[in-house]
């Protein structure tokens, strides 16, 4: 658990917006630098300028794309298309083909991720541990001591024996160091998994995956330090409310992320996030390290009814999410900035640290209108921002990719057009059309009412031609042709998206899909397409978890959990391969379960395959399958090695017999050599 004391050890510099006439001074209590109101206004002006540029860029290029993708996913027509449909009349039906594909992709990815829960990564020792010089000297002293003792006992010691003994001890020390490093890695991994459980990692990842299959770019953020209320139990099980600091991971809505113009990713240019917080959430920030408590209180006093940055897409976004009332009282729009600022500018703002005037420094700032409630130097050792992005179809060197709905937008429009025409045609062709000679009907006759056994009254034909007053005819039905058009383009969606209909349970599978093995081959081929998309999710998880590991290395007090490790995401695509590999292993076990293969494999080979199969099923392999014993003794001293060297050689492969003291049975003493060196 993170303590506030541990977090405050970060070298942060906070710019506070309080008394207009205060000069620069050092707060002895927390070590932060307070600056004048003029400097804070300068900082707020710089942040608002960056916000205006990023907002204008996104308004021109991206906001309509985001809305169009979500409308297509939710089954809403774009306003201009809906207006044309209404002007022409007829059906407004919307076929939810995009939603079906998005839900199938989301379910597929979530099934793969939920198979491991929070166990989505491994900590791997980055390299072999370096042996300190004092350890090397101790090894040399140990071998010299053993050589002297062997020489005193009359043993023959050769340089090759000394070298072998040195290598043996060094190898044993290296193995012990590796084992300690692996134990530390397991301890750190267990700590990180506990932190992910507290941060609701699985739920946030599901929300991120939903954005991933819906929008051009999905955004994931973390870790960040946040307050978390929980209940623990004291004596006699009395409830105790705690307000701890935890690492938090969150999905960021693509509507609320604003990269700098021309940005190619989260680490280029600058990036601004818009937060919509209730007054209570803002108040909960009081006491969190790095935030200006007095500035937060001033914001609450000044904006008791909330504060909103009205944007062009807010009303459409709220209506699509079922929020009919666009103004929700006591809601605050807070902007968060991550980006570079030159050292000279930071000095102008009052930071007294030794800064290079020409070097850009990464800062993090939160502000509401003219109030800056947080401004700190980026505490990350590499200055990285806590954002990761992924796209269904990424575009190189671009922040925004191509969304799944955009890939099939043309198909969705054609299917909608075919469905509307089909609906209209079926309505028209559902019954006969009637042509009525109105002047031959009596006054008051209802020509719009048509029912069985109705008697129509009509006068005689004035033209003398004997034409009936009513004429019935049946409109043509084009349902079959229109249905074929719809089915053709709906099948084309399988090719465009790489998500065939049999993935989500459709029984309309022909050819090879009618057999179990054929369907398995089709599923394998379909998985190749989804793996390319899932690689982006692996990258996101690896980046966030690496930052969590770095934070623990910097501020956690458990020295036994620290080491030079690399965070390796297990990979959603690797989990798919692992499931398929488990099926192949079981087939291999069944195929080789015969006496002939048993003689070829032997018990060792069979035990190896069984262990790998049991490991894939998350079983304790040591309890299920015993280890095959091996006859060897790794603990022979240098003297015992010398005695073995003088032992008469028997037949090839014959074991050497030793007495209880470790000396060769029946061996002869050799002439002693002078001690080395």
Residues 6+ apart with CB under 8 A from 133: none
Are 425 and 431 within 8 A, CB to CB? no
Q: Mind listing the pLDDT tens digit for each residue in 100-130?
A: 999 988 888 887 777 655 567 888 887 776 7
Residue 277 φ then ψ, to 5°: -120, 145
Those residues whose C-beta lies under 8 Å from the C-beta of residue 26, and which sit 6 or more positions away, are: 33, 34
pLDDT in tens, 511-555: 444 444 444 444 555 566 677 777 888 889 889 999 999 999 988
Residue at token pair 């839900």:
103
Top-confidence residue, 436 or 634: 436
pLDDT for residue 107:
86
* E strands present in 213-319: 218-233, 239-252, 257-259, 271-278
Distance CA(157)–CA(675), nearest Å, equals 9
Question: For 231-251, what is each residue's pLDDT tens digit?
Answer: 888 888 888 888 788 889 999
pLDDT at 228 (0 to 100): 78
Whole-prediction pTM value? 0.73
Of the two residues 441 and 221, the one the predictor is more confident about is: 221
Give the H/E segment covering residue 47: helix 37-61
Q: What is the pLDDT of residue 580?
A: 65
Query: Across all residues in the chain, what is the average pLDDT?
Result: 78
Q: How far is Cα 454 from Cα 470, in angstroms, rounded to an integer?
A: 12
Tokens of 247: 């690492």
Q: For the chain, how many residues are written?
A: 677
Highest mean pLDDT among 75-84, 222-231, 560-569 belongs to 75-84
């Amino acid at each position: 658990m993170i303590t506030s004391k541990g977090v405050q050890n970060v070298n942060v510099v906070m710019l506070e917006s309080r008394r207009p006439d205060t000069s620069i001074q050092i707060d002895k209590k927390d070590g932060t630098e307070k600056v004048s109101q003029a400097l804070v206004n300068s900082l707020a002006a710089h942040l608002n300028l960056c916000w205006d540029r990023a907002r204008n860029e996104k308004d021109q290029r991206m906001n309509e794309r985001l809305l169009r993708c979500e409308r297509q996913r939710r089954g809403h027509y774009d306003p201009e298309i809906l207006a044309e449909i209404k002007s022409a009349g007829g059906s407004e039906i919307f076929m939810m083909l995009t939603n079906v594909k998005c839900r199938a992709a989301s379910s597929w990815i979530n099934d793969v991720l939920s198979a491991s829960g929070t166990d989505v990564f491994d900590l791997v020792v980055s390299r072999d541990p370096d042996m300190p010089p004092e350890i090397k000297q101790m090894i040399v002293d140990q071998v010299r001591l053993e050589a002297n003792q062997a020489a005193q006992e009359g043993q023959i010691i050769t340089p090759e024996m000394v070298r072998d003994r040195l290598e043996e001890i060094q190898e044993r020390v290296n193995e012990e160091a590796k084992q300690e490093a692996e134990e530390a890695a397991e301890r750190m991994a267990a700590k990180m998994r506990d932190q992910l459980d507290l941060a609701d990692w699985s739920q946030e990842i599901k929300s991120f995956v939903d954005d991933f299959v819906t929008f051009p770019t999905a955004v994931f953020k973390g870790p960040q330090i946040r307050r978390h209320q929980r209940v623990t139990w004291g004596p006699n099980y009395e409830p105790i409310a705690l307000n701890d600091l935890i690492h938090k991971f969150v999905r960021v809505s693509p509507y609320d992320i604003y990269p700098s113009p021309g940005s190619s990713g989260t680490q280029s240019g600058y990036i601004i996030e818009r937060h919509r917080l209730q007054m209570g959430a803002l108040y909960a920030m009081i006491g969190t390290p790095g935030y200006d408590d007095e500035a937060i209180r001033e914001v609450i006093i000044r904006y008791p009814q909330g504060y909103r940055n009205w944007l062009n897409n807010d009303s459409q976004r709220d209506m699509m999410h079922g929020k009919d009332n666009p103004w929700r009282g006591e809601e605050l729009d807070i902007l968060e900035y991550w980006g570079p600022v030159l050292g000279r500018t930071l000095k102008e703002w009052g930071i007294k640290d030794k800064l290079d005037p020409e070097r850009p420094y990464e800062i993090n700032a939160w502000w509401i209108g003219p109030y800056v409630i947080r401004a700190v130097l980026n505490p990350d050792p590499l200055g990285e921002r806590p954002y990761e992005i992924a796209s269904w179809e990424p575009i190189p060197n671009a922040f925004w990719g191509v969304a799944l709905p955009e890939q099939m937008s043309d198909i969705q429009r054609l299917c909608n057009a075919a469905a509307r025409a089909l609906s209209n045609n079926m309505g028209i062709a559902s019954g006969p059309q009637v042509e009525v000679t109105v002047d031959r009907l009596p006054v008051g006759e209802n020509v719009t009412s048509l029912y069985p056994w109705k008697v129509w009254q009509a006068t005689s034909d004035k033209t003398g031609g004997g034409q009936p007053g009513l004429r019935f005819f049946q409109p043509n039905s084009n349902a079959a042709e229109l249905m074929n058009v719809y089915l053709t383009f709906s099948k084309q969606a399988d090719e465009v998206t790489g998500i065939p209909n049999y993935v989500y349970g459709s029984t309309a599978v022909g050819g090879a899909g009618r057999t179990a093995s054929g369907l398995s081959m089709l599923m394998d081929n379909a998985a190749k397409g989804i793996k390319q998309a899932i690689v982006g999710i692996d990258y996101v998880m690896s980046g966030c978890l690496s930052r969590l590991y770095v934070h623990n290395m910097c501020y956690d007090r458990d020295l036994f959990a620290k080491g030079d490790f690399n965070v390796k995401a297990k990979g959603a695509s690797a989990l798919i391969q692992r499931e398929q590999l488990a099926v192949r292993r079981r087939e291999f076990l069944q195929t080789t379960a015969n006496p002939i293969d048993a003689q070829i494999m032997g018990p060792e080979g069979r035990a190896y395959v069984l262990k790998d199969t049991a490991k894939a099923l998350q079983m304790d392999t040591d309890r299920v399958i015993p280890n095959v014993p091996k006859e060897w003794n790794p603990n022979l001293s240098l003297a015992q090695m010398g005695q073995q060297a003088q032992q008469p050689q028997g037949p090839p492969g014959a074991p050497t017999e030793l007495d209880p003291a470790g000396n060769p049975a029946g061996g002869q003493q050799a002439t002693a050599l002078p001690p080395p060196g």
